[in-house]
Structure 1
Amino acid sequence: MNDKKNYGFTTTILHNDRLKGIEHGSLHKPIHTSVAFGYADARQLASVFQGKEPGFRYGRQGNPTISALEDKVNKMEQGVGTLCFATGMGAIGAVFQSLLRAGDHVVSSAFLFGNTNSLWQTTMGQGVAVSFVDATDVANVAAAITDQTRVVFVETIANPRTQVADLRRIGELCQQRGILYIVDNTMTTPYLFRPKSVGAGLVINALTKSIGGHGNALGGSLTDTGVYDWSRFPNIYENYKKAAPAQWGLAQIRAKGLRDFGASLAPEAAHHIAVGAETLALRMERTSSNALALAGMLEADERVAAVHYPGLKSHPQHGISTELFRSYGSLLSFELKDGIDCFDFLNRLKLAIPASNLGDTRTLVIPVAHTIFYEMGAERRASMGIAESLIRVSVGIEDADDLLDDFACALEGC
């Protein structure tokens, strides 16, 4: 194969390791467990530490197995560089730990993953102001921006209520103002959507979810798309300005967020995720198709009060989703009508499993208000549109008829 040819998404990921050359002709990059890397020439070791030439320093900052995964994710997102972390939250936390300072201001979507919301509360306690806005309308983001705004942060499809941010217009606004635009692409994945196309400077993926896809490894990634001009960012330390400005952001995040923060991805997990990623496109097509069918069935059932899925024409951001996304993803949520106990309903399901992960091959369900969003309290849940009966569904790759029958039977009480 010619590695200069522009192959399709799956072909590129499937053959990426092999085309870069692997020890002993292996088809997968092997698991490198060593945390230290020796050099025959001590001067070369110093040169690697000083960033004058490529090489591995210490396992906390990466190794060949992790580097191979970073290259795969980078190709998925069409970035200029990618760093991997122990979890998706590790990636998000490292960005804010390394790029924000006391007195800075962030504009964030109000519709957030529960742990990201919790992280923002911690960040606020450290002197960074955060404004939570309804990011489905760019006007709300624009109104919240101040002279101290350093970052605008949104998710593509919000977990769990599936609100879709006004992604393209927010990107245009950030480019006009010189503000770093960060997009969490976990719910769409780079197969369904590339945030680079709407001006995102940094893209986050929780690799634990659909990219790894099998619920057997934790991981997260951060990709610099090359869109943002780092010479406009005021918080870059002088010692990371030695290279070209395009490299400043990742250099500082690697040092301050990965080396110092320590949220390092394990090589075994990197290997699991890299192998899982090979079938991302196939799984996203199946789970998206299943999710659309299930959402349609639930919407038509008189015992269901509301269904939240961007693929439904009734969804407020259906038009934006259709314009931007290849399909609508595997995440949906729905509310049962008064008088139907959500726990009893969940306990009647035979295939769908009560569990907290997303993007697995199996369909997973969870009562949101009582579990992953319980800690934030009823008032904050209400502000995010999370009803007490809301059930989140991460749709898997089961045969569609079996999946629909399972939910129909549970609604019937059988």
Structure 2
Amino acid sequence: MSDSGFTTQTVHFGHRSDTTHGAVHAPIHPSTEYTYHDAHELAAVFQNRKKGYTYARTGTPTTAALEAQVNAMEGGNGTLAFATGMAALNAIFFALLRQGDHLIASKYIFGNTNSLLMTLENFGVELTLVDATDAAQVAAALRPNTRMVFVETIANPGTQVADLKAIGDFCQAHRLVYVVDSTLSSPYLRPGRDFGASLVVNSLSKHIGGHGNALGGAITQTGLYDWSDFPHIYEQYRKDDAHTWGLLQIKKKGLRDMGGTLSSDIAHRLAAGAETLALRMDRICGNALALAKFLETQPQVVRVQYPGLASHPQHQRATDFFGTRYGGLLGVVLQPEVDVFACLNRLRVAALATHLGDNRTLILPAAHTIYFEMGPERRAQMGIPDGFLRISVGIEDEIDLLQDFANALASR
């Protein structure tokens, strides 16, 4: 089935990879511990000389099935699942970076990720935030101690599209680890390895799970980075193919030691949700473009930030990268005289909630909620005024969405 389409492969993945009793879904394995009849075999699994399971904190057959499913989507050489997307990011940074290392990151990133980067600075990691829509700014930030570059494919919430391919080429030339967060685009729009990523992060809670009923995250190693170039791989993990060392260290130091474990029950739920990723994304992208075009014509709106609009600064780049699908996130700035809260309270279809990549359209006032802790100066740097609305578009009927926002904007 390797030559089949995206959805065909995803839908049939479970029963093709695990045929236990002919089940079409990989089974849930709730066991915490795993026993062996031979002590030599148990030791071999612990020492990474043989595949197997030891303790559920480092994985179960159910989480492994989800990992294989995501890995197939991303075209990687290995994937690790975590309890949340933030746990996945923590695992990368704390397993691979050390005091005195330099990290270059996009200044247009998710609020909690920004908070995590501030925490890294407290541990002695040097940080430079740049406008990642311009690869030249990444290049200008290079230092002798630079180890890693981190960007999002499409920024949350401003929808800036990073210069992904050029940054990937730069990282390859300078042997830097290139971490790409693909949460907003998902592997369906474009796998991260196409941009030269070393590691791809997906929040499984968002588009891949899709139903707002499960938290999870994943790291996929693309196999494009030779970890023998990276100075911080522990000696015990420098075995076999050097293209696999990074993920092994992340598993041992970032998953096992930090404990951001995904449960089997949740992994099973996420795997089932992933089966309809392509169908949902097609509908979401269509709705998002229609809503963006509608909102752009409304006098109560200052601007609409959506890569599918010709007015978006990176519209052509987004088209080159993703074709005619531009994701489901909109950044909308209302006129100063519009009462943001009154407008939101008039919505009847869109739900007031802090999440994205859901079946439902979700909306919130970004400056007053997820970016409130940053303060006005940092929000201004990121282009998030008080009237900024983050809209994650869902799969509702298009006409209902447009009418809902028309009604909400009709009165001031």
User: Is the TM-score greater than 0.5?
Assistant: yes
Which of 42, 53, 58 is matched with 2:55 structurally?
58
Structure 1 residue 23: deviation in Å?
Answer: 1.7
Question: Secondary structure in 2 aligned to 1:268?
Answer: helix
- Report the counterpart of residue 7 of structure 2 in structure 1: 10
Query: What is the one-letter code of the residue matched to 1:135?
Result: A
In 2, Cα distance between equivalents of 1:356 and 1:90: 18
Structure 1 residue 22: deviation in Å?
Answer: 2.8
With the length of structure 2 as denominator, give the TM-score of the two structures: 0.99
Query: Are 2:31 and 1:34 equivalent residues in the alignment?
Result: yes
Query: What is the one-letter code of the residue matched to 2:164?
Result: L
**Identity fraction in percent:** 55
In 1, Cα distance between equivalents of 2:238 and 2:17: 30
Structure 1 residue 24: deviation in Å?
Answer: 1.2
- Report the counterpart of residue 124 of structure 1 in structure 2: 121
Which of 313, 322, 327 is matched with 1:325 structurally?
322
Which of 17, 24, 40 is matched with 2:21 structurally?
24
Listed one character per residue, the Cα deviations across residues 66-121 of structure 1 (whole Å, up to 9, x for unaligned) are 00000000000000000000000000000011000000000000001000000000
Aligned pairs (5 A) from 1:118-267? 118-267=115-264
Q: Do the aligned residues in 2 keep the contact of 1:154 with 1:184 (CA within 8 Å)?
A: yes
- Report the counterpart of residue 349 of structure 1 in structure 2: 347
Listed one character per residue, the Cα deviations across residues 159-193 of structure 1 (whole Å, up to 9, x for unaligned) are 00101100010011111111011000000000001
Query: Are 2:279 and 1:282 equivalent residues in the alignment?
Result: yes
Query: Are 2:406 and 1:408 equivalent residues in the alignment?
Result: yes
In 1, Cα distance between equivalents of 2:18 and 2:54: 21
- Report the counterpart of residue 388 of structure 1 in structure 2: 386
Which of 96, 105, 108 is matched with 1:99 structurally?
96
Query: Are 2:114 and 1:114 equivalent residues in the alignment?
Result: no
Listed one character per residue, the Cα deviations across residues 383-409 of structure 1 (whole Å, up to 9, x for unaligned) are 011111100000000000000000001
Query: Are 2:297 and 1:300 equivalent residues in the alignment?
Result: yes
In 2, Cα distance between equivalents of 1:383 and 1:141: 17
Query: What is the one-letter code of the residue matched to 2:223?
Result: G
Structure 1 residue 21: deviation in Å?
Answer: 2.6
Query: What is the one-letter code of the residue matched to 2:410?
Result: E
In 2, Cα distance between equivalents of 1:142 and 1:180: 14
Query: Are 2:311 and 1:314 equivalent residues in the alignment?
Result: yes
Question: Secondary structure in 1 aligned to 2:373?
Answer: coil
- Report the counterpart of residue 358 of structure 2 in structure 1: 360
In 1, Cα distance between equivalents of 2:147 and 2:236: 20
Task: Could you tell me which runs of 5 or more consecutive residues in structure 1 were left unpaired when the two chains were aligned.
Answer: none
Structure 1 residue 41: deviation in Å?
Answer: 1.1
Task: Could you tell me which runs of 5 or more consecutive residues in structure 2 were left unpaired when the two chains were aligned.
Answer: none
In 2, Cα distance between equivalents of 1:134 and 1:231: 30
Query: What is the one-letter code of the residue matched to 2:20?
Result: E
In 2, Cα distance between equivalents of 1:235 and 1:48: 24
Runs of 4+ in 1 over 6 A off after TM superposition: none
- Report the counterpart of residue 338 of structure 2 in structure 1: 340
Listed one character per residue, the Cα deviations across residues 237-267 of structure 1 (whole Å, up to 9, x for unaligned) are 1111022211210110000000001000011
Query: What is the one-letter code of the residue matched to 1:67?
Result: A
Question: Secondary structure in 2 aligned to 1:282?
Answer: helix
- Report the counterpart of residue 268 of structure 2 in structure 1: 271
Query: What is the one-letter code of the residue matched to 1:57?
Result: T
Listed one character per residue, the Cα deviations across residues 256-311 of structure 1 (whole Å, up to 9, x for unaligned) are 00000100001111011100000000000000000000000000111101100000
Which of 66, 71, 81 is matched with 2:68 structurally?
71
Structure 1 residue 413: deviation in Å?
Answer: 2.5
In 2, Cα distance between equivalents of 1:47 and 1:349: 58
Q: Do the aligned residues in 2 keep the contact of 1:348 with 1:413 (CA within 8 Å)?
A: no
How many corresponding residue pairs?
411
In 2, Cα distance between equivalents of 1:359 and 1:202: 21
In 2, Cα distance between equivalents of 1:100 and 1:248: 14
In 1, Cα distance between equivalents of 2:76 and 2:306: 29
With the length of structure 1 as denominator, give the TM-score of the two structures: 0.98
In 2, Cα distance between equivalents of 1:175 and 1:126: 27
